[in-house]
């Protein structure tokens, strides 16, 4: 298990894990970007509130992507079934 130093809102964090260093840095960069977006929209927020809003934004993105993936999987399944029935 390695460790990677990252910066989020100017604060240094040491992240330990099995993921590749660049992956961890990319994650931290993304979180940093989201937090900066929140602070740009509402600069008077406390760090905790800004973190919660950024987490909600990231969760929203995740849920939307999951829904899109599920919809694509359903469409593929339907098309595969249709194509398979053509060969029966």
E-assigned strand segments in 9-62: 11-17
* Cα distance between the two ends of the chain: 52
List the structure tokens of 80: 């595969």
How many CB atoms are located within 10 Å of the residue 41 CB?
A: 10
pLDDT of residue 1: 83
C-alpha to C-alpha distance for 82 and 88, rounded to whole angstroms: 10
Q: What is the pLDDT of residues 31-82, one digit of tens each?
A: 999 999 999 999 999 999 999 999 999 999 999 999 999 999 999 999 999 9
> Would strands 11-17 and 2-8 be described as parallel, antiparallel, or unpaired?
antiparallel
């Amino acid at each position: 298990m390695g460790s990677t130093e990252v910066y989020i809102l100017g604060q240094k964090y040491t992240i330990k894990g099995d993921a590749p260093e660049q992956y961890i840095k990319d994650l931290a960069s993304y979180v940093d970007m989201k937090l900066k977006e929140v602070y740009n929209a509402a600069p008077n927020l406390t760090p905790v509130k800004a973190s919660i809003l950024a987490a909600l934004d990231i969760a929203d993105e995740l849920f939307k992507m999951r829904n899109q993936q599920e919809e694509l999987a359903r469409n593929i399944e339907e098309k595969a079934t249709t194509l398979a029935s053509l060969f029966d």
